[in-house]
Chains A and B, each alone.
Chain A
C-alpha cells in the first residue's frame, strides 16, 4: 500500500478546498440560511408540523442530504476531471499507485469535504431551529456513507466527462430533481397515493428518510430499506468503477 501516495492526493485535494475556503464554506451557509428564510418562514407559517416535528426542524436532514449529494458529486467529479483537463494526471499514472489507491485519495478527499459541509449545515441550522439528533451514530453512518457513495459516483462522472458541461449534467438533471422530489421539504404521505407510489421509485427518498430517522425517529419508509438502499447504490458504484478500471476506458490511452 502506497500510504504516502494516498495521503499526497488527499492533502492536495483538500488544499484546493482550503484555497477556496470562502466559497467552500460560505456557499452552504448562505444556501441553508436562504432555505430557512424561504421554506422555513414562508411555508413553515402554513405548515406548522409534520409527523409532530416543527417544519423548520423537519427539513434540516433533507437540506443536508441535498447539499452533500451535490457537493460530493461535484467535488469528486471536478477533482479528477480537472487533472485530466490540465493533463497533470500524467503524474498519477506514472506514480506507483494502484487504481484502488487513486480512488481512495480522490474519493476520500471529496467525502471529507462533504462531511465537513454537512456538519456546518447542522451548526448553521441550529441557529434557526431546534435540532435533536436521537441516534448520533446512525446519523454519522448515513452522513459518511452517503458522502463516500456520491463521491465515488462523482469520480466516475469525472472520468467519463468530456467537458465541463458533462460534469454539470448529472447534478443538475438527476440529483437536484431527485432530491427535491425525494421528500427533502415534505413527507410523501402529504402527496396523493399515485405520487406517493411514484416517489417510492426514487432512491434519494430512502436516503433522506433514513437520515431523518436518525434525527427525529420519523421516516417515510423503513430504516432497513434505507440502509439497504445506500449499500446498493454504493455496490453499484463500486461495480461500475471496477468495470471502468478493468476495461481501462477513459483512463489511459
Chain B
C-alpha cells in the first residue's frame, strides 16, 4: 500500500525549551486507521498539529501524498482535515453556516448537496439551523468532525476523539470513524486508551516524551500490553517450593510470596487449576492480588526491549 503521510526527522521545541517532538519518523499507509498511543503530554497533539499546520515545527519534513506541508502547503492542506481535542467552536453560529465556513476556508466552492449528506451521515441534519450553543457535547464533537470533513479530505486526524466522553458516545464515535474509513478516508487518531487503539486501528505507534518508541501491528502490540501478574501470599514462608509446580507455572518465589505472570489475551490459562494445585501440594494460600502493568510501565518495558533489539 502507498504511503499517504511520510514524516522524516521531525523535531519541535517549544518556546519554553521543552522538546515536544524528538526526531520523529513515521509513515502512514493510504486507507488505514492508525493510532498514536501515549500518555498525556507525550507529544501526540503536537505531532498532528505539526502535520496539519496548526503549530510550526523546527526541523524535518512532512509529506502528505507527496506534497511537502510547508513548501506545498496549499496542496497538502487541501487533502487534510483535523478534529481538535477540545470543542473549539463559535457558540452563536448555526451548524450550517459553521460547516460551510470551514469548506470555504479550505478553498472549496459551495456544495450544498455534499454538506447535506455529511450532516445526515453524522445525524446532524435536523440541527442544521441550531446555534452551536444549543447543542449537546456529543453533537458539538460531531460538528467538529463535520467541519474537518467539509472539504472532502483524504487524510483525517482525530485528536483524542473520545477523551472525557461517556461509553455510549465513545461507541458512536468509533462507528463514525469506521464508516469514514470505509468510505476511503485514511484516519490517524491519538488516544491514551489502549482499548480504543485495539478496537479501531490496524497499526499503532507508541509515543512517549516526544519519541516514537515503536510502531507495530495492533494485534502484536496488544499481546504485549495484555500481560498481568498474580501475587499469591502463602500462610508460611517457603524456601524450597515443589520444583514441578515451580517449573510448570514458571513461578517466582520470594519468602511467602509466589508470583505468576500470564497474558490475558491467551486462552490456555487456568488460574483455578493453578491455585488448586498449590493447595494440593500442601501450601496454604492466605491471599492473592492481581496486577496489571500501567501504560507507563509497559512503555518502559517496550523502551528496554526496543533498545535490546
Contact = CB atoms under 8 A, between A and B. Distances in A.
Interface of A: 2-5, 7-9, 11-12, 15, 19, 86-88, 90-97, 248, 252-253
Contacts of B56: 248, 252-253
A127 B109 CA distance: 43
B105 A5 contact: yes
A8 B108 CA distance: 10
Contacts of B106: 4-5, 95-96
Nearest to A16: B92
A86 B93 CA distance: 13
Nearest to A90: B54
B53 interface: yes
A2 B78 CA distance: 11
B78 A88 contact: no
A93 B53 contact: yes
Contact of A87 (B88, B92, B109): B88
Contacts of B55: 93, 252-253
Contact of A94 (B14, B53, B108): B53
* Closest 6 A/B residue pairs (Cβ): A8-B104, A95-B105, A96-B74, A96-B77, A87-B88, A2-B107
B88 A93 contact: no
B97 A87 contact: no
A87 B91 CA distance: 12
Contact of A12 (B76, B88, B101, B109): B101
Contacts of A8: 100-105
B39 interface: no
Nearest to B106: A95
Contacts of B93: 15
A91 B53 contact: no
Contact of B147 (A3, A7, A19, A91): A91
Contact of A7 (B14, B15, B92, B104): B104
A94 B77 CA distance: 7
Contacts of B54: 90, 93-94, 252
A86 B91 CA distance: 10
A5 B81 CA distance: 15
Interface string B70-91: 0001111110111010101110
Interface of B: 14-15, 49, 52-56, 73-78, 80-82, 84, 86, 88-90, 92-93, 97, 100-109, 147
Interface centre among A2, A12, A94, A253 (most CB of B within 10 A): A94
Contacts of A5: 104-107
A206 B56 CA distance: 41
A224 B56 CA distance: 44
Contacts of A248: 56
A74 B307 CA distance: 57
A90 B55 CA distance: 9
18 contacts: A2-B74, A4-B103, A4-B107, A4-B109, A5-B105, A12-B101, A87-B86, A90-B82, A90-B84, A91-B147, A93-B54, A94-B54, A94-B77, A96-B74, A96-B76, A96-B106, A97-B105, A248-B56
B90 A94 contact: no
A92 B88 contact: no
Contact of B104 (A4, A87, A253): A4
Contacts of A91: 88, 102, 105, 147
B80 to A, nearest CB: 7
B34 to A, nearest CB: 19
Contacts of B82: 90, 94
Contacts of B107: 2-5, 95-96
A11 B102 CA distance: 12
Contacts of A3: 107
Interface centre among A3, A5, A8, A91 (most CB of B within 10 A): A91
A157 B147 CA distance: 29
A88 B105 contact: no
Contacts of B105: 4-5, 8-9, 91-92, 95, 97
Nearest to A87: B88
